């Protein structure tokens, strides 16, 4: 059983980005979105107008905190061969509702990819006042939409920043 990461949040987090589960490169590096072809840091950097992809990982996380953005995954553990969401088996969910309840300033949740959106929206069904739920195209290199098209959807997050 593979294990995911702890959430990256602060007490004043107002926007969460939820992925499905870390890929092999991320698990090996113990860093969110560590695969060099994953576009997460470029996309979010363009949203924030900050060059996140060029920064060391610790500085990326610091910039997210300054921007009141949190990162986590919808799955805490699973069995999977490779990095594709389609290979996820026997997954255990993270308690998204419990985390959302601890974030009084939470206004929006962006789902990084279809798997995150599909499973994550179900997991959040139990909380009282739902923040805005925003499906985003996956930042994964396996999702082959052009960067500019992905960015157009990711820029919707600026409304909440």
Q: How many CB atoms are closer than 10 A to CB 25?
A: 15
Q: Write out the residue range of the structural domain in which residue 102 sits.
A: 2-160
Q: What is the rounded CA–CA span in Å between residue 82 and residue 61?
A: 26
**Per-residue pLDDT tens digits for 119-151:** 888 888 766 677 889 999 999 988 788 999 999
48, 42, 77, 59: which is closest to 150 by C-alpha?
42
The catalytic site residues sit at 38
126, 133, 74: which is closest to 107 by C-alpha?
133
CA atoms within 13 A on the CB side of 83: 17
19, 25, 71, 31: which is closest to 55 by C-alpha?
31
What's the whole-number mean pLDDT along residues 1-25? 93
Per-residue exposure over 93-129, b if at least 16 CB sit within 10 Å of its own CB, e if not:
bbebeebbeebeebebbbbbbebbbebbbebbeeeee
Residue 102 pLDDT > 80: yes
Find the CATH number of the domain harbouring 152.
3.40.470.10
**Per-residue pLDDT tens digits for 29-82:** 999 999 999 999 999 999 999 999 999 999 999 999 999 999 999 988 887 877
Counting the structural domains of the chain, the total is 1
> Tokens at residue 136, please?
């985003």
140, 139, 99: which is closest to 6 by C-alpha?
99
């Amino acid at each position: 059983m593979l294990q995911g990461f702890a959430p990256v949040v602060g007490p004043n987090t107002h926007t969460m980005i939820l992925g499905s589960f870390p890929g092999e490169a991320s698990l090996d590096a113990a860093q969110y979105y560590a695969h060099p072809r994953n576009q997460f840091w470029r996309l979010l950097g363009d949203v924030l107008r900050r060059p996140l992809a060029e920064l060391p990982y610790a500085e990326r996380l610091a910039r997210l905190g300054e921007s009141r953005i949190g990162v986590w995954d919808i799955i805490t553990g699973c069995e999977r061969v490779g990095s594709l969401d389609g290979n996820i088996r026997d997954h255990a969910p993270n308690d998204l509702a419990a985390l959302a309840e601890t974030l009084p300033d939470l206004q929006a949740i962006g789902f990084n990819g279809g798997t995150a959106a599909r499973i994550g929206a179900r997991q959040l069904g139990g909380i009282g006042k739902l923040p805005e739920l925003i499906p985003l195209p996956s930042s994964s290199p396996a999702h082959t939409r052009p960067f500019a098209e992905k960015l157009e959807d990711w820029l919707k997050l600026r409304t909440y920043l």
